[in-house]
Amino acid sequence: RNSLQRTLDCSLPVTFAFDYPTIEIAVKYLTQVVIAPMESTASQQTDSLSAMFTDTSSIGRILDNETDVLDSEMQSDEDESLSTLIQKLSTHLD
């Protein structure tokens, strides 16, 4: 019992050996009471991680789109500035 508790990092009843006298019965109990909750927790953690990665991917796509928009706006501003500068130079040279 003590060895199982340490190995499985769980608490087992003092009467474990009497309540579950064969390996088959003990394994069935441990599977239901100890292993199943661990699998459930692992599944929940996997779902949470999947959701985080999905959110991260969405944020990445949004940032990429925003970067494209900013690049486009900057190019437009540069084009306007160059156009204005050319007009001023043309006026000054005439």
Measure the CA–CA gap between 4 and 77, rounded to whole angstroms: 71
Q: Is the pTM of this model over 0.75?
A: no
What does the pLDDT look like over 30-80, one tens digit per residue? 888 877 666 656 666 666 666 666 666 666 666 677 677 676 766 776 767
Between 72 and 26, whose confidence is greater?
26
Angle formed at CA 32 by CA 43 and CA 44, multiple of 5 degrees: 10
pLDDT computed for residue 1 by the predictor: 84
